[in-house]
Amino acid sequence: MRLPAAVRERVAAVHGGVGLPECLRLYDGWAACYEQDVEALEYRAPHLAAASLAFAFPAPPAEARLLDVACGTGLVARELHRRGFRCLHGVDGSSGMLERARSTGLYQELRQCVLGREPLPAPAGGFLCLTTRSNPSNLRYKAELEAVLEDLERQGAWQKVLVQEVERWEKATSEEESTQGTGYISGVVYVYRKCPVPPLEEG
């Protein structure tokens, strides 16, 4: 199925390698029709993120504390809720996307936070999940995200649980973005675990 031109244009705009403030502004404007557009893209990230978290979690889901990073409108929370996860926190840089996420009623807490510019709020003893695309125009942003995650690991705040590369993440909007002519782009799911705070030494 061919993508409608309006969808292709909106997706291409945020995929177009614009700077961060402009990108977040585009997401603000996209929030109202984001879910409808990503359905046309056959976007699988929320399902894949939830499946990775369900695999990574040893504890009963209802007690698991999760931070949904760059939560958007809350599609990941919807998938997690279906799988029994209840203690969901979310952050996103776009107020428009956060407003939609808030309207789902699925998050215990939502905060505006620009990754790489502001510290990540960390529910104690929890996990975080984050997804991003691996198409050519997103590689710089992906490298920046990975640098942020590596920094959190170096500081001893979070520990890597899994990084899963996935093919057929969503439909490509152009031939140049498509993985080896498949018509789709690939993406990555990151799951990290919050490190316990070491007890203060006495004396």
Ligand X SMILES: C[S@@+](CC[C@H](N)C(=O)[O-])C[C@H]1O[C@@H](n2cnc3c(N)ncnc32)[C@H](O)[C@@H]1O
- Tell me how far apart the alpha carbons of residues 37 and 10 are, in angstroms, rounded to a whole number: 8
- Tell me how far apart the alpha carbons of residues 77 and 99 are, in angstroms, rounded to a whole number: 14
Which span sits near ligand X by CB under 6 A: 3-11, 50-58, 71-79, 174-182? 71-79
The verdict on 66 binding ligand X (CB under 6 A) reads no
Alpha helices in 20-163 (DSSP H): 20-30, 34-40, 45-56, 75-82, 95-104, 139-154
- Tell me how far apart the alpha carbons of residues 17 and 142 are, in angstroms, rounded to a whole number: 11
Residue nearest ligand X, CB atom distance: 72
The verdict on 46 binding ligand X (CB under 6 A) reads yes
The verdict on 72 binding ligand X (CB under 6 A) reads yes
- Inter-residue contact 63 to 85 (CB < 8 Å): no
Site string for ligand X, 15-44 (x = CB under 6 A): -----x--xx--x-----------------
* In the complex, minimum distance from the CB of residue 20 to ligand X, in angstroms, rounded to a whole number: 6
Contact residues for ligand X, defined by CB under 6 A: 20, 23-24, 27, 45-46, 70-72, 75-76, 92-94, 97, 114-116, 131
